[in-house]
Amino acid sequence: MAGKPHRGVAGVIRGVDPAVSKQVDPYFPDHGDPRYRVHRYELTLDYRPGPNRLAGTARISALAGPEALRELALDLSEFRIGRVLVQGKAAHYTHRGGKLRVKPGKPLPAGTAFTVEVHYSGNPKPVRSQWGALGWEELTDGALVASQPTGAPSWFPCNDRPADKASYQVSITTASPYQVVTGGRLLTRTTRASSTTWVYEQAVPTSSYLVGIAVAPLERVLLVDGEPGGVPQTGYVPAELVPRFAGDFGRQPQMMRLFEELFGPYPFGEYRVVVTDEELDVPVEAQGMAVFGTNHVDGVRGSERLVAHELAHQWFGNSVTVADWRHIWLNEGFAKFAEWLWSERSGGRSIAAHAADAHRKLAAQPQDLKLADPGRKLMFDDRLYDRGGLAVHALQRALTEPMFLRMLRDWTTGRRHGVVTTADFMAHAQRYAAPGQSLVELFDAWLFQGALPPLP
């Protein structure tokens, strides 16, 4: 297929601590396989919306870890497996309980680069979880993929760990009236008869949960065309919502400029916003894109804070990615704080006012959330978002404003496309404190204790 040359393994995993990346995620120990690392996925998919039928081939290029691989595991939901190849040769496999276990004809030596090819087909459906349906979801007309945290296996075989970031090429063939939207650069769009094939390349490292897909009859709305110095920004919207969308997302280009000023250059080549033709409880970020529901488009910018929140995730969460889900506050706390930043800088309520409201709300709720390790049950609790924003605000108050802003920008630029932990951030922030000033007590109170500290 057409596309950029493959990136070398070293280029793809720049900024990733190998010791961190090969750990099992303690919240989802059954997901992923730390014995190897993927550096590229090439997905060739044929999707028929009417019967919700998906046929795919996944070619996975990976690197064995420090021990020989006698077997490797991929996460994949209930599809029919056609064949599985390792290094181009048929391999034995078993597929049950969401795990495709593959046994090569002979063990793969430690440190060896290898390929796995999986041919599969079936009717994709979401992964069930305590947070509802995750991953591939059939819409009234089309389909949507929003996988956070563990929905990626609903549509392709993967090493489903946030720390295992890889490049992607995604080719999807579907009926011509449908738009196909995902992250990355659109390489080609080819129509033959009644079908169109869309090929996208996401060259920068991407976690499996951050590969979003939309297949639907949507109108394309250009917000910014990528003029010199600008990030291309496009909306894909149901036709009847285009006028409202123009107002609700009209200030997104200003947000982009502000966040580039504060957080450094936008980490990807473009940014796409998809509005589904159905309501969503919350919008969802993906690499280089975000997905909103019809309920987030009201024509009066009623969800503008969420527009800012999802855009901020491109820096916090997508480019700078958590090593495992214990550290999710590094995604959500900074995205919440970015909402407050946008509000203040755009002439709305101040950061201090937002922080005071969040603190009052938290003070009236149970004090059992430990931000730096909330547990699987509470990792998407509303309190994590507000307390995360307050923790960042507390750090803002503890540092001088110039040093705080430098700390933010250096974090997102220095860790660009990398994998991080809470300990990494604490060590980073300490470097911007005044001589002799320790941030240990501040971090202990906000990140590791359940009791809510006083308002900064």
Which residues are tagged catalytic? 310, 385
User: 440 forms bridges with which residues in the sheet?
Assistant: none
Return the HEC string of the chain. CCCCCCCCHHHHCCCCCHHHHCCCCCCCCCCCCCCEEEEEEEEEEEEECCCCEEEEEEEEEEEECCCCECCEEEECCCCEEEEEEECCEECEEEEECCEEEEECCCCECCCCEEEEEEEEEECCCCEEECCEEEEEEEECCEEEEECCCCCHHHCCCECCCCCCCEEEEEEEEEECCCEEEECCEEEEEEEECCEEEEEEEEEEEECHHHCCEEEECCEEEEEECCCCCCCCEEEEECHHHHHHHHHHCCCHHHHHHHHHHHHCCCCCCCEEEEECCCCCCCCEEECCEEEECHHHCCCCCCCHHHHHHHHHCCCECCCEEECCHHHCHHHHHHHHHHHHHHHHHCCCCCHHHHHHHHHHHHHCCCCCCCCCCCCHHHCCCHHHHHHHHHHHHHHHHHCCHHHHHHHHHHHHHHCCCCEECHHHHHHHHHCCCCCCCCCHHHHHHHHHCCCCCCCC
Does the annotation flag 92 for ligand binding?
Answer: no
Residue with tokens 């496999």: 93
Residue 251 burial (10 A CB sphere; 0-12, 13-18, 19+): middle
Please report, as a single letter, which amino acid is at residue 228. P
Identify which of 291, 134, 140, 298 has the alpha carbon closest to the alpha carbon of residue 208.
Answer: 134
Does the annotation flag 354 for ligand binding?
Answer: no
Q: What φ, ψ does residue 241 adopt, rounded to 5°?
A: -100, 0
Contacts of 178 (CB under 8 A, 6+ apart): 49, 142, 196, 215, 216, 217
Does the annotation flag 309 for ligand binding?
Answer: yes
Tokens encoding 217? 């009859």
CA–centroid distance for 177 within its chain:
28
Residues contributing to the annotated binding site? 309, 313, 332
Output the known binding site for Zn(2+): 309, 313, 332
